Amino acid sequence: TEGMDIDELAYQLAVGESEILRFLSVRGAMLDNVQTLDKDLVKMVCMEYEVEVLESDPVRVEEMAKKNEFLDVEDLDKLVARPPIVTIMGHVDHGKTTLLDYIRKSKVVASEAGGITQGIGAYQVLVPVDGNPQACVFLDTPGHEAFGAMRARGAKVTDICIIVVAADDGVRPQTNEAIAHAKAAGVPIIIAINKVDKEGANPERVMQELSQIGLMPEMWGGDTPMIQISALKGENVDELLETVMLVAELQELKANPDRNAKGTVIEACLDKAKGPLATLVVQNGTLNKGDILVCGEAFGKIRAMYDDRGSLVDQAGPSNAVQIIGLNNVPLAGDEFESVDDLDVARERANTRADAMRIERINAKAGEGKVTLSSIA
């Protein structure tokens, strides 16, 4: 029953999608508008390219892939715990930035040695769990569009979603949208009922509204944690973070730090002095300065790597976010990256990817309305 998207297979085999389609159609496979190949077809294609399909313990692999689609079969015996990656979403003005700022100030800036925080769109904080500080990574998603685009490309970056709902305003259109995004991605939701310090705040009403759209508060016997906070005053934010870590623990998030890095681009831009800049979240393996990357349609060697405080770092392990320079081009938010052995391989893979994307765009145009975006497992 397990299959694979054609574009993914093309990417993995470093061949064009059209080549795969041609190969299959020659063998009589009916593939009109089909985007996903079943296991047998995948095997058939892989045999042609003399690539072995690994298939040990499908149940375990499937379970693992649900939690981290960047894991491979070879990682199974080397998994260690990784920090959760958390996204804050919600309606305009409901307090997302205020909450993130508070978390960063109370948990990050205090330990900063007079440095100015450089925004890379991701922040690592330490949350005490039973007295032990544990890492947690927050992503500052640049608006819903980017999140939607990332999701549509099948990128699953977030482990947990905090949805902020202002207690004086209630559930609004973007609240619904955020909930829909989180649900579609299969990411657990934690509700932060914010601005409880404000006059006119009515947390009960918010819980009522949420329960009507299928999110039943834990305190009413449901399974959605809802924490009443004031992001402005920092009230109950610790409790919110504790809940995040609790939910994370249940997810048993894991990765294999001892392999080449794989992950997702969360932000990228062109800097006049430094060239293309990309913020990457490592989702498996460890990224090193000097690594050679394929990054969507871009590639290059990492010349320098900065952490969330703008400090130069040499390494970034699972769940870490770093900004890198050294790519030949600006990748897109949501692009996947992987470190590879040499620059020629990287260039070839990036070019193959560019071709595949071009064909995909043409196909999408041709079959407007019929094409579905690559599925999220």
**Binding window for ligand GTP (CB under 6 A); candidates: 94-102, 240-248, 263-271, 358-366:** 94-102
Q: Which stretch binds Mg ion (CB under 5 A): 94-102, 230-238, 292-300, 363-371?
A: 94-102
Q: Which does 151 bind (CB under 5 to 8 A by kind): Mg ion, ligand GTP, none?
A: none
Tell me, yes or no, if 144 is annotated catalytic: yes
Q: How far is the CB of 179 from Mg ion (least distance, A)?
A: 18
**Nearest residue (CB) to ligand GTP, 90 versus 334:** 90
Binding of Mg ion at residue 97 (CB under 5 A)?
yes
- The answer to whether the beta carbons of residues 22 and 363 sit under 8 Å apart is no
CA angle at 336 for the pair 335 and 340, rounded to the nearest 5°: 135
Q: How many residues bind ligand GTP (CB under 6 A)?
A: 15
Closer by beta carbon to Mg ion, 96 or else 104: 96
d(CA 129, CA 135): 10
Question: Is 345 within 8 Å of 8 (Cβ atoms)?
Answer: no
Least distance to ligand GTP from the beta carbon of 306, Å? 24
Nearest approach, Cβ of 210 to ligand GTP (angstroms)?
Answer: 17
CB atoms within 10 A of CB 138: 26
Provide the minimum distance between the beta carbon of 239 and ligand GTP in the complex, in angstroms, as a whole number: 14
Q: Does 144 bind ligand GTP (CB under 6 A)?
A: no
**Measured distance CA(128)–CA(203) in Å, rounded:** 27
Helix, coil or strand: residue 25? helix
Is the Cα torsion angle 255, 257, 261, 263 positive or negative in sign?
positive
Whole-number minimum distance, CB 194 to ligand GTP, in Å?
A: 5
Q: Is 145 an interacting residue with respect to ligand GTP (CB under 6 A)?
A: no
Residue 172's binding partner among ligand GTP, Mg ion, none (Cβ under 5 to 8 angstroms by kind) is: none
**Integer-rounded Cα radius of gyration of the chain:** 22
Q: Number of residues interacting with Mg ion: please give it, by CB under 5 A.
A: 2
**Residue ranges in 180-239 that form contacts with ligand GTP under rule CB under 6 A:** 194-195, 197-198, 230-232
Rounded Cα–Cα distance for residues 14 and 240 (Å): 44
Would you say 161 or 280 has its CB closer to ligand GTP?
161
Separation between Cα atoms, residue 281 and residue 323, nearest integer Å = 9
Tokens of 51: 């690539």
Q: Least distance (Å) from Mg ion to the CB of residue 191?
A: 18
In order of 66, 88, 107, 195, 364, the CA distances from 373 in angstroms are: 18, 24, 38, 37, 9
User: How far apart are the C-alpha atoms of 92 and 175, rounded to whole Å?
Assistant: 9
Which residue number, 202 or 315, has a Cβ lying nearer to ligand GTP?
202
Instruction: Supply the residues annotated as catalytic.
Output: 144
Which residues are near ligand GTP by CB under 6 A? 90, 92-98, 194-195, 197-198, 230-232
